[in-house]
Amino acid sequence: MHLRRYRSKVHTLDAQVRHKGTPVSEPGPAPKRSRPAVSTRDKLIAVSLALFNERGPDRVTTAQIAEAAGVNEGNLYYYFKTKQALILAIFDQFEAAVERLLDGSRAANADPAAYVAFLREWFEIVWTYRFLYRDFMSLLATAPELRRRIRAISERIRTPIKDLIGHMRMAGLMDLSDEELDVLLPNLWIVSTYWVVYLDVQEGVGTLQKSHLEWGLKQVASLFRPYLTKAARDWLGTQPDALL
């Protein structure tokens, strides 16, 4: 009954339109949604990050940042009163990226692939914000509060790594004492964080390629290898892309 009534209304409307001589046409395609415009503040942060990575914060002026972003310097000062404020805004983004990484790591178990995936993402974060580690000592003169914040990140990154090694020990995949673990953890942190500084400063690498990520992962894998059990080595022998 309801369906017949609906069809009758459609038929009547169609007849009225045709009687008035108005052509009945198919609806056109939906308009494309435009991408939201990047805010001036976000553009200034992105440009500053690129320039800081390329030259170092000490060699970049606010005038150069404004010019690269296509705004006048007064507009920059509206959002960021000082270069320190820009550095801290970039660090806020860095912390948010680390937080997302840690949120995704909480479900990790004894699977070595979980650690490799964690490392890959961490490596990409470190590369994206590489000036924070490469120029850390000079940054402390500009923003001394970064010492506390980067130390907190170090501790938070160590936790999922330590948990994963604990899972691998319980699963019989790694064999090392607590004393050896205490030595391994800081070495893992140093290599997994400062590999990017080595490539930048020693090798002159300016653009990250997949081969550079693989190189960094292999450096970390070399720290794991002495502690892998036979069961782990046998399992890894069946994995074509295993790094450990």
The pLDDT tens digits for 166-208 are 888 988 889 999 999 999 999 998 998 888 889 888 888 877 7
56: domain CATH number is 1.10.10.60
Q: Would you say residue 121 lies in a domain?
A: yes
Domain boundary among 62, 81, 100: 81
Do 51 and 116 belong together in one domain?
Answer: no
Q: Would you say residue 171 lies in a domain?
A: yes
Integer angstrom CA distances of residue 22 from 16, 29, 30, 205: 9, 20, 22, 66
The helix/strand/coil state of 174 is strand
Do 143 and 224 belong together in one domain?
Answer: yes
Do 107 and 174 belong together in one domain?
Answer: yes
> What does the pLDDT read at residue 37?
65
Q: Would you say residue 231 lies in a domain?
A: yes
For residue 9, give both structure tokens: 């209304």
Burial class for 5, CB neighbours closer than 10 Å (0-12, 13-18, 19+): exposed
Q: Would you say residue 132 lies in a domain?
A: yes
Do 45 and 146 belong together in one domain?
Answer: no
Spatial separation of the C-alpha atoms in residues 124 and 37, rounded to whole Å: 25
Do 112 and 65 belong together in one domain?
Answer: no
For residue 119, give both structure tokens: 């490392």
Q: Would you say residue 242 lies in a domain?
A: no
Do 145 and 192 belong together in one domain?
Answer: yes
Spatial separation of the C-alpha atoms in residues 199 and 150, rounded to whole Å: 21
> What does the pLDDT read at residue 205?
85
The helix/strand/coil state of 12 is helix
Do 112 and 205 belong together in one domain?
Answer: yes
Do 113 and 150 belong together in one domain?
Answer: yes
Domain that holds residue 64: 38-81
Do 108 and 144 belong together in one domain?
Answer: yes
Can you list the residues of the chain whose pLDDT is less than 50?
Answer: 1-28, 240
Domain boundary among 46, 81, 116: 81
Do 48 and 154 belong together in one domain?
Answer: no
Domain boundary among 81, 109, 138: 81
Q: Would you say residue 133 lies in a domain?
A: yes
> What does the pLDDT read at residue 152?
92
Identify the CA nearest to 192 among candidates 160, 146, 239. Answer: 160
Spatial separation of the C-alpha atoms in residues 214 and 17, rounded to whole Å: 66
Give me the number of domains the chain comprises. Answer: 2
> What does the pLDDT read at residue 241?
57
Do 211 and 127 belong together in one domain?
Answer: yes
User: Could you write out the three-class secondary structure of 81-125?
Assistant: CCHHHHHHHHHHHHHHHHHHHHHHHCCCCCCHHHHHHHHHHHHHH
Do 112 and 174 belong together in one domain?
Answer: yes
> What does the pLDDT read at residue 147?
92
For residue 82, give both structure tokens: 């000082």
Q: Would you say residue 65 lies in a domain?
A: yes
Crossing angle of the two packed helices 40-55 and 62-69, in degrees rounded to 10: 120
